[in-house]
Amino acid sequence: MDHLNPFQPRKTVSLSPVDARGWHLKRYAIFADNRHNEDAIIAAATSHALDRLPAPGPLDDPTGNHGVGFQIIHFAETAVVSPTFYWQWGSVLAHADQIKAPWDRPTDFRTGVLEIVGCVWELHIVQFESAAWTATMLGPDQTAAPAHRVSAYLGRQAEPSA
């Protein structure tokens, strides 16, 4: 059962955040063995993720999304997989359809498996982002302006790993 091999951490890096189409997205890349950063793939993944996100909402809307989220671009063994998450209703983490590109066409992203939230290499980022949102947006200090709190959230990045 080689699909149950012992867990080995993967290299994870923070990418520059994106401010586009009204969305503020933090971005991360994860690399399986023998995979490396390719700017064209990252650009395509981000463009396709933005295409799948709903219209961005204002931060002060309690009934919609807040135009703030994060994307993971996973250079995995079999394909490039990219889940994108966003915050809504103040405390709810939603996700756009997962996108996936095969290695023979690594910038041709299509809808992946809809039920998937993320793999074990991606979930540590989801956990970090949940804690960062809680600390900056839902923390006890509510005196800072919402835009300042969003900046504080966007400024927190998960630690890179080797």
pLDDT in tens, 14-48: 999 999 999 999 999 999 999 999 999 999 999 99
Q: Please write down the HEC assignment for all residues of 114-133.
A: CCCCCCHHHHHHHHHHHHHH
Q: Long-range contacts for 128-137 (Cβ within 8 Å, ≥24 apart)?
A: 128/158, 129/26, 129/70, 129/85, 129/93, 129/158, 130/93, 132/156, 133/87, 133/93, 137/87, 137/90
Checking if the pLDDT of 162 tops 80, the result is no
pLDDT in tens, 97-117: 899 999 999 999 999 888 888
User: What is the C-alpha to C-alpha distance for residues 83 and 5, in angstroms, rounded to an integer?
Assistant: 23
pTM for this entry: 0.94
Checking if the pLDDT of 54 tops 90, the result is yes
Number of CB atoms found within 10 A of residue 41's CB: 21
Closest CA to 102 of 75, 72, 78: 78
Checking if the pLDDT of 1 tops 80, the result is no
Pairing state between β 23-31 and 11-20: antiparallel
